[in-house]
Amino acid sequence: MASSSHKVIYAALTANILIAVSKFVTAAITGSSSMLAEGFHSSVDIGNSVLLLFGMRRSQRPADELHPFGHGKELYFWSFVVAVSVFSVGGVLSIWEGVNHLQHPAELGNLKWSYAVLGLAFVLDGYSLIVSLREIARTKGDASLWEFIQRSKDPTVYTVAMEDSADLAGIVVAFLAIYLGERLQLPWLDGAGSILIGVILIGIAIVLGRESKNLLVGESASRPLVEKIRRAVATDPGVDAVGQVLTMQLGPHAVLVNIDARFKPQGSLEALESAIRRVEDSVRAIDPSVQHIFLEAASLQAQ
């Protein structure tokens, strides 16, 4: 999964570097506000890809004295930073540029450059989106795309997919703003396009920020995994009853589990210890992401 996530991010990074350079050059030639907003957009995407790669690398550091459960949540922190950058640098800056252009509309220069660059950007962003959607399709099962985003514990792939979707929407908006502004002789439409691009980015940022925040503050493992753990404990011959099964996602591939269980009389301490080890082994066998198990065997909390 880690290598697949890297592939998705590197594809997006390469595409956005090429796109950002061409958009800024074209914006300088034509004076298009929408094209400049798209340049800001692609620049944010470049920075975000670098932040995600940095977060992935930092999250893979081993546990230490200050971080006994590892550094997996660091990826969630940097994913939240990505959402903030999309909101502030991408969304707000695009809206500011659009408002400024509405106040001072200007005739656009040679638009053939704009159309050529937007076409190139559409192809490159489309390819990056296909790469990310293929990875999502490989892992989401029967869930819809929206359900996958809400349930996923790895923000890297869906972040790239959402950014690429926003890129394609922004390209369409920029094209329409430039084309209609030229045909209808309404230069203010270019500024309106920049504002709409900013609104799209802010919407994407809100979704990304919400999902990253949930993971950062201690979201539980997926419901199917929790139910599998409960069934594995309840069906053990030495377990009399199962109370709370509390989980926390420590990273994309790391889960902490706290189980409250009441064991049947085992006859000896050695037999009880053997039953506890058997339960822990069965829980670990469910999914390799279950890395930390705490079993409260003394009592069953009231439900």
Domains of the chain, residue spans = 2-216, 223-296
State pTM to two decimals.
Answer: 0.81
Structure tokens at 303: 């439900």
* Position 116 pLDDT exceeds 90: no
pLDDT digits (tens, 9 = 90+) for 253-293: 899 999 999 888 877 888 888 888 999 999 999 998 998 99
Determine the CATH number of domain 223-296.
Answer: 3.30.70.1350
User: What class does CATH assign to 2-216?
Assistant: mainly alpha
DSSP code of residue 217: T
* Position 213 pLDDT exceeds 70: yes
* Position 146 pLDDT exceeds 90: no
Contacts of 285 (CB under 8 A, 6+ apart): none
pLDDT digits (tens, 9 = 90+) for 69-108: 989 899 999 999 999 988 888 888 888 888 888 887 766 6
Mean per-residue pLDDT over the chain, rounded = 86
CB atoms < 10 A from the CB of 65, how many?
5
Residue 222 CA to residue 220 CA, distance in Å, equals: 6
Q: Span 223-227, mean pLDDT?
A: 92
Lowest mean pLDDT among 33-47, 58-72, 265-279: 33-47
DSSP code of residue 297: -
Please give the pLDDT value at position 246: 93
- Between helix 188-216 and helix 155-183 the angle, nearest 10°, is 170
DSSP code of residue 219: P
Please give the pLDDT value at position 209: 92
Amino acid residing at 244: Q
Structure tokens at 161: 């997919």
